[in-house]
Amino acid sequence: MEMVTITIDGQQVQVPKTSTVLEAARSVGVNIPTLCYHPELRPEGACRVCVVEVKGARSLVASCIYPVNEGMEVKTNTPDVREARKTVVELLLANHPQECLSCQRNLNCELQTMASDLGIREIPYQGAKKNHPLDAGNPSLVRDQNKCILCGRCIRACSEVQGVHVYSFANRGFDTTVVPAFGQGLHEVACTFCGQCSSVCPTGAIVEKDDTAAVWKALSDPTKHVVVQTAPATRVALGEALGMKPGSIVTGKMVAALRHLGFDRVFDTDFTADLTILEEGNEFLERLQHGGVLPMITSCSPGWVNFIELKYPELLPHLSTAKSPQQMFGALVKTYYAEKAGIDAKDIVSVSIMPCTAKKAEAVREEMKSSGYQDVDYVLTTRELGRMIREAGIDFDGIEKEEYDAPLGIATGAGVIFGATGGVMEAALRTVAEVVTGKELPSIEFTSVRGLTGIKEAVIPVGDLKVKVAVAHTLANARIMLEKIKAGEADYHFIEVMACPGGCIGGGGQPISTCEGFRQKRIDAIYECDQGSALRKSHDNPAVKELYDTWLIKPLGEKSHHLLHTHYHPQNRI
Amino acid sequence: MNKDNKCCCGNQVNAMAQMDEILAKYAEVHGALIPVLQAAQNAYGYLSKEIIQYTAEKMNIPISQIYGVVTFYSQFHLNPRGKNIIRVCQGTACHVRGAKAILQAIEDNLKITAGKTTQDLNFTLETVACIGACGLAPVLMINDDTHGRLTPEAIPGILAKYS
C-alpha cells in the first residue's frame, strides 16, 4: 500500500495514501468529533463538525471527506476549529427540540454528547422550530422528524447496507426532511422494519417503538402468568446497554435480572432455535428427497421475510415454511407449556426479548395466532430490556448469575449460534449430516460459513451428497442471492439469509454502538457460548426430544404443521 | 385512472403510452432522470404518484430518490396545475409599489392562497421573486402575458379574460 507522510498536530505520521484526514487522525489516536460520519457508511461531509485546519487550504475542511496528501500539515485543535465546531452544533441546537430529559435517547445521544464535549452552555441562536407529525403507524419504529439533524445516516444505511432505499432527503432549505417517498409513513412504503436506520441515528429521530409500559403492566398484574424468552443474540449485547464492553457474555445475569423484574418463567429462544433446526432440517431433507423447491431459504429473520414478500414475491416458495424461533416459542407457550404447567392459556402473557425491531411486526402478523391467542404478546428489544433493568434499579454488574427455567430454557450450542450470520446454517448442518448418515460427525464446527464476509459459500458432504450452501447477511446481499436464483444461476441447495449486518448480533434492536469491531466481538462471544455448551447439536436437546416424544410426535407432523409452520404472502407497499 | 387502465368512461386506454415514449427516448442516456421528469410533466401537466412510480420502476431508480428530486426543484409539481398559471411578482420594486395588495386581491377573487390551484383547475397562483420588469411594477404574469402597473381594482377584469 502506498503511504504518505503527514503531520497531525505536530506529530509526523505515515498513513495509506487513500486515507481521509479523519481516518489518519484516528489511526494515531487523535479524536476528531463527528456527527454525520459513521464508520460503516460512505462519508458525506454534511454536518461540518469534523472540520480541521489544513495548511494552505482556503478555509477549514471537513476531515471525514478530505483526502490526505504528502507533506500535509493538519491542526485539529485550534481556536478557529473549536469555534467553528461549536457554531455548527449551536446552529443544530437552535431548532432542535429541547426535550433531552424525556427523550428515548437521553444519555445515549451523539448530539447531546457533542454539545457536552464542546462545552456548549447556552444556545445563542433562537431559530424557528419544526413541527412535523410523528410517524408511529407501524409496530416497530417511531420517527420524529423534529429531532432529525439531517445527517443522512439512515438514508445511507437503508440504501448502502440494505439496498432497500426507503428514505431520501425531500424538499430544500429549512423545509428539508428525511422521509419515505411522498412523505408517507413507514407502514405505507416498502420498509422491512429491520431497524438499521434506528441503529445509526445519532439522535432520537428514529427509535424502536417502546413497549415497556405494557410489559410493566402485565408484570404487576397478579392474575397473569408472565413468561419471557430471550433471543440468542441478546446475551452478547445486553451488557453494552448497561455499561459493559462489546462482546460481554451476560446470559446468567440477564436471566437473574429478568426474574428480578418479576417474570414468572425465564425461558430461552435457543430452545425453539433447536426445534427450528429439527423442523427446518427435516423440511430440507424432504425437499431434497422429493423434488421440492430448491434452494430452500431460511425464514427466521422477519426483516428478511418482509423483504422477499415485498420485493420478490414470486420466490416465496423457496422460503422454509418453518416459523421463526420466536413464533414457534409463542405457539408452544400457550399450548404445550400451558398444558404441562396446568395454566389457562388466556392467563399467560408471552414476552420476548429480541435484538430486532422487525420481530415486533412479526408478532402481530395475522397468521401468528395458532395457539388461539396472539402467540407472542409483547416484543422488547435488547435496548428496551436495558432500560427496564435500569428503571428497576438492578445492579447488573453485581447481580449473581442464574439458570433458565426448564423445560423451555434448555438449549444447545447450535441454538445459540443462530445469533450470528452463518449460525443457522451451521446448526442445520450439524443435525442434517448426522440424521442422514446416522453417524456422529468428527467435527461439528463448520467454519466456512462463519464470519463477516457478505456472502459465504461452502460445499458440505452429507452422506453421498455434496450439499452446496450459501449464507448471506444484509438485505443488499440477500438481493444478490435472489437475483441469482431468478437468473437460474443459483445451484445451491440451502441458503441462510439474515437481514442485518453480522446477523442478529447486529440487529436493529441491539444496543447502539459506533465502537470499532463491535460486530466481530459479539460474534466471538456467540461462538464462545456455543463452545461452553455441554450439548452442541440441536437433535441432542433432551427437552426437544421430550417435546417430540410426548407431544409433537414427529417433525413435520400434524401438530408441527399447525403450530410450527406458516405461510407467506406478497405485500403491496411501494 | 384505475389499475386496469380504464378511465372514468370505461374505455380501455393506456395511460402510460406517452410515458413509454419519453422513457424510450432517454433509454440510453445516463443520468436522464430530470429530463424525463420534465418531459413527463410537459405531457401530463404534473407528476402524479402513478407516473413517479412508473418512472421508478422503468428506470430502476428508488422511488424515494425520485421523490427527493421532485421536491427539491420548484419546477416540478406533485399536484394538478391550473390551465392558467398566475405569477405575482414580489420583488423589491413591486413590493414598494404595493405587490402585497395585488396578491391579496387575487387571493380574494379566486378564494385560494398562493401556491394553490382553484377547484375548477382554471388558475394556479404562484409568487415569484422578480420577473425582471421592474419598470412595470407592480407586475404579474398569466401564462406568457405580462400585466403591469396594476391596482387591486384592475384584478377582477384581468382574471375575467382567462375564465
C-alpha torsion A302→A306→A312→A317, nearest 10: 50
User: Which of A147, A175, A208 is a domain's end point?
Assistant: A208
Nearest to B67 among A159, A168, A172 (CB): A168
Domain covering B84-160 in this structure, CATH number: 3.40.30.10
Cis, peptide link before residue A16, omega less than 30° from 0: no
In this complex, is the C-beta atom of A172 within 8 Å of any C-beta atom belonging to chain B? Answer: yes
pTM of the model: 0.93
pLDDT band with cut points at 50, 70 and 90 for residue B15: confident
Give the residue carrying C-alpha cell 404595493. B98
From chain B, the residues in CB contact with A180 under 8 A are: 64
Question: Is A367 designated active site?
Answer: yes
Kindly identify which residue of chain B lies nearest to residue A159, measuring between CA atoms: B62
Assigned domain for A9 exists: yes
CB contact under 8 A, B72 and A168: no
State whether A199 and A289 are in the same domain: no
The domain spans of chain B are: 17-72, 84-160
Overall number of domains in chain A: 3
Question: Is A300 designated active site?
Answer: yes
CB contact under 8 A, B72 and A169: yes
State whether A41 and A163 are in the same domain: no
CB contact under 8 A, B65 and A166: no
State whether A468 and A488 are in the same domain: yes
State whether A150 and A247 are in the same domain: no
Catalytic-role residue among A283, A384, A434, A496: A283
User: Which of A208, A237, A269 is a domain's end point?
Assistant: A208
Let me know: does A490 contact A472? Beta carbons within 8 Å: no
State whether A80 and A135 are in the same domain: no
CA dist A558 and A560 (Å) reads 5
Give the residue carrying C-alpha cell 456527527. A35
Question: Is A384 designated active site?
Answer: no
Amino acid at A38: H
> For strand A206-208 and strand A296-297, is the pairing parallel, antiparallel, or unpaired?
unpaired
Q: Is the pLDDT of residue B31 over 80?
A: yes
B53–chain A nearest CA distance, Å:
8
Sign for the CA dihedral angle at A464, A465, A466, A472 comes to negative
Amino acid at A220: S
pLDDT in the model for residue B5:
47
**Cell (9 digits) for A138:** 407501524
Strands of A87-164, DSSP E: 141-143
Number of Cβ within a 10 Å radius of residue B140: 27
CA dist A329 and A563 (Å) reads 10
State whether A199 and A230 are in the same domain: no
Assigned domain for A108 exists: no
**Cell (9 digits) for A168:** 431520501
CB contact under 8 A, A182 and B68: no
Question: Is A99 designated active site?
Answer: no
Cα A351–Cα A302–Cα A195 angle in degrees, nearest 5 = 85
Kindly identify which residue of chain A lies nearest to residue B54, measuring between CA atoms: A574
Helical H runs in A423-557? 423-437, 475-486, 518-531, 542-547
Query: CATH number for the domain including A291?
Result: 3.40.50.1780
B159–chain A nearest CA distance, Å:
31
Where in the sequence is the domain holding A278, given as residue range(s)?
A: 213-564
What crossing angle do the helices spanning B17-25 and B49-59 adopt, rounded to 10°?
40
Question: φ, ψ for residue A314 (rounded to 5)?
Answer: -70, -15
Question: φ, ψ for residue A258 (rounded to 5)?
Answer: -65, -40
Kindly identify which residue of chain B lies nearest to residue A311, measuring between CA atoms: B57
Kindly identify which residue of chain A lies nearest to residue B53, measuring between CA atoms: A574
State whether A189 and A251 are in the same domain: no
Beta-ladder partners of A497: A472
Question: Integer distance in angstroms from the first to the last C-alpha of chain B?
Answer: 27
pLDDT in the model for residue B109:
96
Q: Is the pLDDT of residue B13 over 80?
A: no
Helix-strand-coil split of chain B, %, nearest 5: 45, 15, 45
Query: CATH number for the domain including A182?
Result: 3.30.70.20
In this complex, is the C-beta atom of A3 within 8 Å of any C-beta atom belonging to chain B? Answer: no
From chain A, the residues in CB contact with B65 under 8 A are: 165, 168
Give Rg (Cα) of chain A.
25
Query: For the residues B149-153, what does the mean pLDDT come to?
Result: 96
Nearest alpha carbon to residue B87 among B137, B38, B144:
B144
CA dist A5 and A12 (Å) reads 7
Assigned domain for A42 exists: yes
Q: Is the pLDDT of residue B58 over 90?
A: yes
C-alpha torsion B52→B55→B60→B62, nearest 10: -10
Query: For the residues B55-67, what does the mean pLDDT come to?
Result: 97
State whether A386 and A367 are in the same domain: yes
Kindly identify which residue of chain B lies nearest to residue A178, measuring between CA atoms: B68
**Cell (9 digits) for A339:** 398444558
Amino acid at A432: V
CB contact under 8 A, A168 and B65: yes
State whether A370 and A473 are in the same domain: yes
Q: Is the pLDDT of residue B2 over 50?
A: no
- Mutation target among B48, B53, B64 for the A interface, most CBs of A within 10 A: B64
pLDDT in the model for residue B4:
47
pLDDT in tens, chain A (574 residues): 899 999 999 999 999 999 999 999 999 999 999 999 999 999 999 999 999 999 999 999 999 999 999 999 999 999 999 999 999 999 999 999 999 999 999 999 999 999 999 999 999 998 889 999 999 999 999 999 999 999 999 999 999 999 999 999 999 999 999 999 999 999 999 999 999 999 999 999 999 999 999 999 999 999 999 999 999 999 999 999 999 999 999 999 999 999 999 999 999 999 999 999 999 999 999 999 999 999 999 999 999 999 999 999 999 999 999 999 999 999 999 999 999 999 999 999 999 999 999 999 999 999 999 999 999 999 999 999 999 999 999 999 999 999 999 999 999 999 999 999 999 999 999 999 998 899 999 889 999 999 999 999 999 998 888 999 999 999 999 999 999 999 999 999 999 999 999 999 999 999 999 888 999 999 999 999 999 999 999 999 999 999 999 999 999 999 999 999 999 999 999 8
Catalytic-role residue among A70, A99, A339, A367: A367
Catalytic-role residue among A151, A197, A504, A529: A504
> For strand B84-89 and strand B123-128, is the pairing parallel, antiparallel, or unpaired?
parallel
From chain B, the residues in CB contact with A177 under 8 A are: none
Does ipTM top 0.85?
A: yes
pLDDT in the model for residue A454:
96
From chain A, the residues in CB contact with B68 under 8 A are: 168-170
CA dist A35 and A415 (Å) reads 38
State whether A166 and A249 are in the same domain: no
Give Rg (Cα) of chain B.
19
Assigned domain for A573 exists: no
B90–chain A nearest CA distance, Å:
20
CA dist A123 and A119 (Å) reads 11
Give the residue carrying C-alpha cell 402473557. A349
Catalytic-role residue among A194, A197, A300, A356: A300
User: Which of A92, A118, A146 is a domain's end point?
Assistant: A92
Assigned domain for A461 exists: yes
In this complex, is the C-beta atom of A168 within 8 Å of any C-beta atom belonging to chain B? Answer: yes
From chain A, the residues in CB contact with B71 under 8 A are: 170-172
CB contact under 8 A, A169 and B63: no
State whether A401 and A483 are in the same domain: yes
CB contact under 8 A, A165 and B64: yes
In this complex, is the C-beta atom of A428 within 8 Å of any C-beta atom belonging to chain B? Answer: no
- Mutation target among A158, A169, A178, A310 for the B interface, most CBs of B within 10 A: A169
Question: Is A109 designated active site?
Answer: no
State whether A426 and A513 are in the same domain: yes
CB contact under 8 A, B67 and A182: yes
